[in-house]
Copies of this chain bind each other. A is one copy, B any other.
Amino acid sequence: MLAEIITIGDEILIGQTLDTNSAWLGEHLNTYGVEVIQISSINDKKESIVNALKAAETRADIILITGGLGPTKDDITKKVLADYFGAQLIPNHGALENIKDIFHRRGREVLQINVDQALVPDNCEVILNTKGTAPGMYFEENDKIYVSMPGVPYEMKAMMEQVVFRKLNAKGDNYTIVHDTITVVGVPESHLSVAIESVEDNLPPHVKLAYLPHLNLVRLRLSAKSIALSPAQLKSDIDTAFAAIKSIIGNVWFDGDRNLPEIVGEMLIENRRTIGTIESCSGGYVAHSLTAIAGSSAYYKGSLLTYAYETKVAIADIDQNMLNIYGAVSEEVCEAMAKNARKKLDVDYCISTTGIAGPGGGTDEKPVGLVFIGLAKPDGSIEVKRCEFHGTRLQIIERTAYTALDMVRRALDSSRQGTRA
């Protein structure tokens, strides 16, 4: 079955909110054999909603609508849907009890606009909201399924998981869709595509290859889709193609859709090495990148976050004279940070960062974006890289972390074996 997602509300159109709901829906619908063919983000005017519904009906079997169900005047989705289907708004007992429950638990009075949230079109099946007040609505009209849910991510997700996926699954007649991804490091997309052209040209017609480049990683995704073939057969077709690709490109791939922290983690495990960090300008982001990975406690031991000048002295034993002479943002301090923290944390590798993330704090000599990144290695040697990054504070922080992790990857790469299992 084919689905279209319609998100309602200005916050996505003016860039105030990232549309994480559609990404989550797209990913999960796929595992139920439902393919998302379009995502339309529209404003909360009646005309826009009606036009989007009409357009979606020409393409999709299932129309998932998020947003516009709040108690306030700017939220009109429910009224528009009732008009669209020629339905009346009627009170729903379960939804009202749920609303009363929530307000009583919070010790808040139930107002008329809270009671009105329990009104629903009389042609819908109510999806109870176990995480909030606005009820979800499930419609079957004109041989199409329409589901209207709140835009609050955890409310929408609970409705999908508790009710909607089960209902869609029962409809049957779905495609089988299988995706798999490998991640290739350090090869430009164009060179990769020429190298594996023979594999791409000989893919079965139901298998499709996509390139997803990101910095110096390229993710290769194979998607197989069929009504007739079994999931096992589709998986086998994908595996055959990936085996051919891997045999051509050699030792530069990792299974799965991997980011750099995952790849570094896997290499640390392969090499039985531990890592720690000492951060200044990156403010914990290198540590967070590493520890966001499940299983990172196998190699990550800890960090000193020496944000303030005096903390560098107090917890990382940086020499006060050195700070006075060179300044906190210097090759010398960066090197000393990596060296001292490697010892204190008792790790094989230790990353250090010190720089100016901005927007304030820059000078002519040391501008915003100047960052020193150190890496202390198992043999006791220390590599320091001087970087000049551009962009916002957050971009400078992210680029610092990415560059630091890529230094670790390169250091580990020399010790990798020629072929992977």
User: Bound state CA distance, A14 and B224, in angstroms?
Assistant: 13
The stretch from A284-292, A331-339, A406-414 touching chain B is: A284-292
Interface of A is mostly: mixed
Residue A101 is within 8 A (CB to CB) of chain B in the complex: no
Residue A123 is within 8 A (CB to CB) of chain B in the complex: no
Chain B residues within an 8 Å CB radius of A30: 14-15
Residue A193 is within 8 A (CB to CB) of chain B in the complex: yes
User: Bound state CA distance, A12 and B18, in angstroms?
Assistant: 12
Residue A46 is within 8 A (CB to CB) of chain B in the complex: no
What bracket does the count of chain A residues touching chain B fall in?
35 or more
Interface pair A74/B209, CB less than 8 Å apart: yes
Residue from B219, B292, B311 within 8 A of A302 (CB atoms): B311
User: Bound state CA distance, A307 and B25, in angstroms?
Assistant: 33
Interface pair B300/A307, CB less than 8 Å apart: yes
Query: In the complex, what's the smallest C-beta–C-beta distance from A168 to chain B, in angstroms?
Result: 16
User: Bound state CA distance, A294 and B360, in angstroms?
Assistant: 8
Interface pair B307/A315, CB less than 8 Å apart: no
Residue A108 is within 8 A (CB to CB) of chain B in the complex: yes
Chain B residues within an 8 Å CB radius of A88: none
Residue A247 is within 8 A (CB to CB) of chain B in the complex: no
Chain A residues with a Cβ under 8 A of chain B: 9-20, 22-28, 30, 35-43, 48, 52, 55, 70-75, 103, 106, 108-109, 111, 113-114, 117, 133, 152, 179, 181, 188-191, 193-194, 200, 208-213, 219, 221, 223, 257, 276-277, 279, 283-288, 290-292, 294-297, 300-308, 310-311, 314-315, 344-346, 358-361, 393-394, 397
8 contacts between A and B (CB under 8 A): A38-B41, A55-B55, A288-B397, A291-B307, A292-B394, A292-B397, A294-B360, A301-B308
